[in-house]
Structure 1
Amino acid sequence: MNELATPPAQAKRPQDAAGEVFLAFLKLGLTSFGGPVAHLGYFRDEFVIRRRWLDERAYADIVALCQFLPGPASSQVGMAIGLSRAGYLGALSAWTAFTLPSAIILVLFAFSTGFLGEALGSGWLHGLKVAAVAVVALAVLGMARSLTPDKERATLAVAAAVMTLAIPSAWGQIGAIVLGGLVGVTLLQGEAPAEHAVLSLSVSRRAGFAALLAFFALLIGLPVLAAATGSQSIALFDAFYRSGSLVFGGGHVVLPLLQAEVVPPGWVSNDAFLAGYGAAQAVPGPLFTFAAYLGAVMGPQPNGWAGAALCLVAVFTPSLLLVVGALPFWEDLRRRPMARSALRGVNAAVVGLLLAALYHPVWTAGILGAADFALAAAAFLLLFMWRTPPWLVVILSAVGGATIPILQT
Structure 2
Amino acid sequence: MSVRKVRYYVFLKDILTLSLTSFGGPQAFLAMLLDRMVRKRAYVSEEELWELNALCNMLPGPASTQLVSAIGFRVGGPNLAYLALFVWILPATIIMIAAALLIDFLQENTPGALDFARFIQPMAIGFIIFAAQKTIGKMIKSTEAMILMLLSAFVSFFYSSPYIFPGLLILGGLSTSIKYKNQPKSEEDKTLVIRWSNFYLWALVLVIAASAGAIFKWQPIILFENFYRNGSLIFGGGQVLVPYLYTEFVDFKHFLSSEEFLTGYAISQGIPGPTFSISSYVGALSMREFGFTGILMGGLIAAAGIFLPGIFMIFFVIRFWDQLKLYRPVRAALEGINAVSCGMLIAAAYLLFEPMESSLINILFVLGTYSLLQFSKISSPMIIAGGIVLGILVNYLV
Give the TM-score of the pair, scaled to structure 1.
Answer: 0.88
Distance 2:198 2:289 in 1: 31
Distance 2:35 2:276 in 1: 23
Contact 1:367 1:373 survives alignment (8 Å): no
User: What is the one-letter code of the residue matched to 2:310?
Assistant: S
Q: Find the partner of 1:288 among 271, 276, 296.
A: 276
User: What is the one-letter code of the residue matched to 1:311?
Assistant: A
The corresponding residue for 2:175 is 183
Unaligned runs of 5+ in 2: 188-192
The corresponding residue for 1:275 is 263
| Pairwise CA distance, 1:17 | 3.0
- Gap change, CA 1:297 and 1:217, over 3 Å in 2: same
1:257 and 2:244 correspond: yes
| Pairwise CA distance, 1:326 | 0.4
Distance 1:194 1:41 in 2: 30
- Gap change, CA 1:320 and 1:335, over 3 Å in 2: same
User: What is the one-letter code of the residue matched to 2:285?
Assistant: V
Residues 21-41 of structure 1: per-residue CA shift (max 9 Å, x gap): 221111111100012232122
Distance 2:180 2:125 in 1: 31
Distance 2:185 2:150 in 1: 27
- Gap change, CA 1:116 and 1:345, over 3 Å in 2: same
The corresponding residue for 2:225 is 238
Q: Which moved more, 1:271-280 or 1:346-355?
A: 271-280
Distance 1:194 1:127 in 2: 52
Distance 1:335 1:290 in 2: 35
1:350 and 2:337 correspond: no
| Pairwise CA distance, 1:124 | 2.3
Residues 202-226 of structure 1: per-residue CA shift (max 9 Å, x gap): xxx67x4110111123334422321
The corresponding residue for 1:391 is 381
Distance 2:197 2:213 in 1: 23
The corresponding residue for 2:322 is 331
Contact 1:14 1:87 survives alignment (8 Å): no
Distance 1:311 1:121 in 2: 25
| Pairwise CA distance, 1:406 | 7.6
Distance 1:194 1:140 in 2: 32
The corresponding residue for 2:61 is 71
Residues 45-98 of structure 1: per-residue CA shift (max 9 Å, x gap): 111011111111111221121111111111111001111222222112211222
The corresponding residue for 2:130 is 138
1:126 and 2:90 correspond: no
Instruction: Report the secondary structure of 2:119's partner residue.
Output: helix
1:45 and 2:35 correspond: yes
Contact 2:153 2:344 survives alignment (8 Å): yes
Contact 2:279 2:303 survives alignment (8 Å): yes
Instruction: Report the secondary structure of 1:122's partner residue.
Output: helix
Contact 1:212 1:321 survives alignment (8 Å): yes
Distance 1:310 1:103 in 2: 11
Contact 1:120 1:402 survives alignment (8 Å): no
The corresponding residue for 2:101 is 111
Percent of pairs with identical residues: 27
Q: Find the partner of 2:215 among 202, 205, 228.
A: 228
Q: Find the partner of 2:363 among 363, 370, 373.
A: 373
Instruction: Report the secondary structure of 2:243's partner residue.
Output: helix
RMSD of aligned C-alpha atoms? 2.3
Aligned residues: 387
Contact 1:296 1:304 survives alignment (8 Å): yes
| Pairwise CA distance, 1:403 | 5.4
| Pairwise CA distance, 1:189 | 5.1
User: What is the one-letter code of the residue matched to 1:91?
Assistant: A
Residues 152-191 of structure 1: per-residue CA shift (max 9 Å, x gap): 2111101011111222111121122122112211347513
Q: Which moved more, 1:113-122 or 1:316-325?
A: 113-122
- Gap change, CA 1:239 and 1:36, over 3 Å in 2: same
Contact 2:96 2:278 survives alignment (8 Å): yes
Q: Find the partner of 2:234 among 236, 247, 265.
A: 247
- Gap change, CA 1:366 and 1:178, over 3 Å in 2: same
- Gap change, CA 1:351 and 1:315, over 3 Å in 2: same
Contact 1:130 1:397 survives alignment (8 Å): no
User: What is the one-letter code of the residue matched to 2:259?
Assistant: D
1:25 and 2:15 correspond: yes
Instruction: Report the secondary structure of 2:68's partner residue.
Output: helix
Give the TM-score of the pair, scaled to structure 2.
Answer: 0.90
Instruction: Report the secondary structure of 1:70's partner residue.
Output: coil
Q: How does 1:145-164 map to 2 (within 5 A)?
A: 145-164=137-156
Distance 2:328 2:232 in 1: 23
User: What is the one-letter code of the residue matched to 1:261?
Assistant: E
User: What is the one-letter code of the residue matched to 1:26?
Assistant: L
